[in-house]
A and B are shown apart, each in its own frame.
Chain A
Amino acid sequence: MDMFSNLWLGLTIASSITNLGYCLLGVFLGTAIGVLPGLGPVATIAMLLPLTFGLPPETALIMLAGIYYGAQYGGSTTAILVNLPGEPSSVVTALDGHQLARQGQAGRALSTAAIGSFIAGTVATVLIALFAPVLAEVALQFGPAEYFTLMVLGLIASVVMASGSLLHALGMILVGLLLGMVGTDVNSAMPRYTFDVPMLADGINFVVLAMGIFGLGEIAANLENEAERTLLTRKVTNLMPTRDDWKRILGPIARGTALGSVLGILPGGGAALAAFGSYSLEKRLSQEPHRFGRGAIEGVAGPESANNAGAQTSFIPMLTLGLPSNSVMALMIGAMLIQGIQPGPSVMTEQPTLFWGLIASMWIGNLMLLVLNLPMIGLWVRMIAIPYHFLFPSIIALCAIGVFSVNNSLFDVYAMALFGVVGYLFRKLDAEPAPMLLAFILGPMMEEFLRRTLLFSKGDPSVFLTRPLSAVLLAIAAILLLLVVLPVVRRKREEAFQEE
């Protein structure tokens, strides 16, 4: 089989001493920053991105992927121990995980999360190896019309995943698209929205935007309620699940993995929706639904597997189409561009060592998480226990240095400060920054593909409907939108987000 020789190639790349070392470093640092309450994967990756600049491309991507899994996993640890999920996908983990921790069962919850994540990660890695080449083949058939509609679908999907009002989320997408227009127009070389500032000629730097809005804005908001966090400082013991636990968690892990793998591939989807979906599924299937929310181990196993599987398969659209399906993938694309790699279907054929090395390292990264993190739980507990008023100045310091080092530009530092204010304002208005960030990344690509499509069709927009693949993608987007507007589904969706 081709797949095995490819995976073997990947494993030989990923298991070189250097790459193993950086993978380990990434997983470790990612977990260390990720356990800090209030810091999700986006902020963690943005903050640590500069560490990878000097590395060769394979090593840099392997380390970034390690940071990603580490941050994701660290978020679960915080959700279970402090009930402070740093990102939407671990909100669900906090529901039952924290209840378990309060009953003195933190060890069971943590190990279940780790085991579920590892199994899901292994399956998802194989799925990527199986389907990425197929999808890359399909992607080569894509014309500009298909790319454009795929991005529309991605943005709509991200709106449907967002918890707030539809109108609001669509508005934020437009704001993101507009922000993405800043810079030089590729076709006419005309500067747009640059206000004669030369530093804006290349557009707004993604890292600056992400760190300002997700880092500084978040900190300013967190400072409002500095109430004591209830950390369960009791020593975490009994790390192994009992035989009864195993019986309870295997089903949820299998279902969560399946659900997460599928939802992760969807543009705009990823970990959060997968976790929500898995939780409601397990609650529905359970014979004792009343236990959910009161410390049901199934409520940790399912969502944690789903979110890890989803986090992993969300690499598929990025690797095969060059399209980010969420903000984390947008950052990965940014990192690839910095390394001089244009993401897209050609990466696999032109840089097989990079492609397969990255995939193999995903599995290795997951293995490291499992082997390393449970024994080191004492260290993570101590990291979580650092008081916030010690923590946040350090985070600001790291953000400032990180942003400066991307382009060695002071302008970026000031711009980040400005976006911090904007991010705080967004939070006050309940405006969700994640769809905006995605739109910001997709904006320039969408304009380009729209332009090319209409150039070929001589200005006739009906091509989007007459090309079959593009029509299907648009139809899916329309159905998604309709589903949210329909009263029945709407109520269900509100219920689902109520569980937060």
Chain B
Amino acid sequence: MGLKIRSEKDFGSGLLYLLLGGAGLAIAWDYGLGTAGRMGPGYFPTLISALLLLFGVATLVRSILAEGPAIDAVNWKGLALVTLSVCLFGALLLGAGLPAALTVLILVSAMASEKFAISPKAIAAMIGLVLFCSLVFVKGLGVPMPLLGSWFSGIIAS
């Protein structure tokens, strides 16, 4: 076959458009199209999804026809740790409280850096940030985040 992907980035985005457009179209199928004069809930989404499919095909075709840049290496470690740190924050916030959740977020995300090292300066900066956020957001702005989460309430009570 003479088909060769000449532009990885185009190929990747073409696939992405096809995927999103296809899913959008498939789901909107059940929404009820209506007519142009009386649009159903599915009219606009179907229109957009169909156009997106079209652009997906066009981008795929271009990826075969025209030379383009390759996709460079993905920094899996960085991406995973940054995402994980935010998810852990969400998981810990109500149970453990803001200071604990923040500490975990900072430690986990910091590991994403090549320069990660536990130094007195880094620990001082972390404590400063945790204190600052607790004071400003919880005490100052009254965002409903517990300083000590629900997991601790039993321990203190008993």
Bitwise interface map of A from 414 to 444 toward B, beta carbon under 8 Å scored 1, else 0: 1011001100110011110000000000000
Contacts A54-B141, A451-B39, A458-B37; is A397 near B16 (CB within 8 Å)?
A: no
Residue of B nearest to A421 (CB): B83
Known: A188-B40, A190-B41. Contact between A414 and B87, CB under 8 A? yes
A394 CB within 8 Å of chain B: yes
Q: Once the chains bind, are B36 and A461 in contact (CB under 8 Å)? A: yes
B49 near A178: Cβ-Cβ < 8 Å: yes
| Residues of A contacting B69 in the complex (Cβ-Cβ under 8 angstroms) | 430
A220 to chain B: which residues have CB within 8 Å? 75, 78-79, 82-83, 112
Chain A residues with CB below 8 A from B122, complex form: 390
Cross-chain contact of A174 among B55, B133, B145 (Cβ < 8 A): B55
Are B79 and A405 in contact, with the CB atoms below 8 A? no
List residues of B (77-95) whose CB comes within 8 Å of A's CBs. Answer: 78-79, 82-83, 85-87, 89-90, 93-94
Taken residue by residue from 375 to 405, chain A's Cβ proximity to chain B (1 for < 8 Å, 0 otherwise) reads as 0000000000001111011101111110011
Residues of B within 8 Å of A387, CB to CB, are: 115
B38 within 8 A of A: yes
- Bound together, the chains give a CA A221 to CA B144 distance in angstroms of 32
Interface size class of B (residues with CB under 8 A): 35 or more
Residues A404 and B143 in contact in the complex (CB < 8 Å), given A413-B89, A416-B86: yes
Interchain CA distance A459-B89 in the complex, whole Å: 50
User: In the bound complex, what is the Cα–Cα distance between A187 and B142 (angstroms)?
Assistant: 37
Highest count of chain B CB atoms <10 Å: which of A171, A431, A451: A171
Q: Is the CB of B141 within 8 A of A226?
A: no
Find chain B residues with CB under 8 A from A460 CB. Answer: 36-37
Per-residue contact bits, chain B 35-50, to A (CB 8 Å; 1 contact, 0 not): 1111111011100110
B111 and chain A: residue at smallest CB distance? A393
On whether the beta carbons of B13 and A420 are closer than 8 Å, the reply is: no
A178 touches B48 (CB 8 A): yes
How many residues of chain A get a CB closer than 8 Å to chain B's CBs? Answer: 66
Smallest Cβ distance from A187 to chain B, in angstroms? 7
A175-B17, A181-B48 known; A397 vs B102 contact (CB < 8 Å):
yes
Chain B residues near A51: list those with CB within 8 A. Answer: 141
Chain A neighbourhood of B109, CB < 8 A? 392-393, 396
**A254 interfacial by beta-carbon distance below 8 Å:** no
Query: Does any Cβ of B come within 8 Å of A142's Cβ?
Result: no
**Total A-B residue pairs with C-beta atoms closer than 8 Å?**
198
- Assuming the contacts A177-B48, A397-B106, A420-B82, asked whether A429 and B71 have C-beta atoms less than 8 A apart, the reply is yes
Whether B6 is near chain A, meaning CB under 8 Å from some CB there, is no
User: Which residues in B have their C-beta under 8 angstroms from that of A454?
Assistant: 36-37, 39
Contacts of A170 in B (CB 8 A): 55
A248 within 8 A of B: no
CA distance A20 to B98 in the complex (A): 32
B110 / chain A contacts, CB cutoff of 8 Å? 389, 393
A390: B residues at CB distance < 8 A:
122, 125
How far, in Å, is A208 (CB) from chain B's closest CB? Answer: 11
Complexed CA–CA distance, A177 and B89 (Å): 30
Residues of B close to A223: CB separation below 8 A: 75, 78, 82, 112-113
Q: Are A226 and B115 within 8 A (Cβ)?
A: yes
Determine if A397 and B129 form an interchain contact, defined as CB atoms under 8 angstroms apart: yes
Q: Is the interface of B mostly helix, strand, loop or mixed?
A: helix
**A174 adjacent to B129 (CB under 8 Å):** no
CB neighbors of B among A164-193 (8 A): 167-168, 170-171, 174-175, 177-178, 181, 185, 187-188, 190, 192-193
Evaluate contact between A388 and B36: CB separation under 8 angstroms.
no
Judged by a CB distance under 8 angstroms, whether A450 is at the interface is yes
Interface pair A429/B36, CB less than 8 Å apart = no
A219 within 8 A of B: yes
**Interchain CA distance A281-B3 in the complex, whole Å:** 44
User: A266 interface residue, CB < 8 Å from B?
Assistant: no
A238 on the B face (CB < 8 A): no
Say if the beta carbon of B56 comes within 8 Å of chain A.
yes
B102 to chain A, nearest CB (A): 6
Say yes or no: A174 contacts B17, CB within 8 Å: yes
Which 8 residue pairs spanning A and B have beta carbons closest together?
Answer: A459-B37, A459-B36, A223-B78, A389-B113, A413-B90, A185-B41, A417-B86, A405-B143
A-B pairs with beta carbons under 8 Å apart, 9 shown: A167-B55, A190-B31, A193-B24, A223-B78, A404-B143, A420-B82, A429-B13, A431-B16, A459-B35
Q: Which residues of B contact A (CB under 8 A)?
A: 9-10, 12-13, 16-17, 20-21, 24, 27-28, 31-32, 35-41, 43-45, 48-49, 51-52, 55-56, 58-59, 62, 69, 71-72, 74-75, 78-79, 82-83, 85-87, 89-90, 93-94, 98, 102, 105-106, 109-110, 112-116, 122, 125-126, 129, 133, 137, 141-145
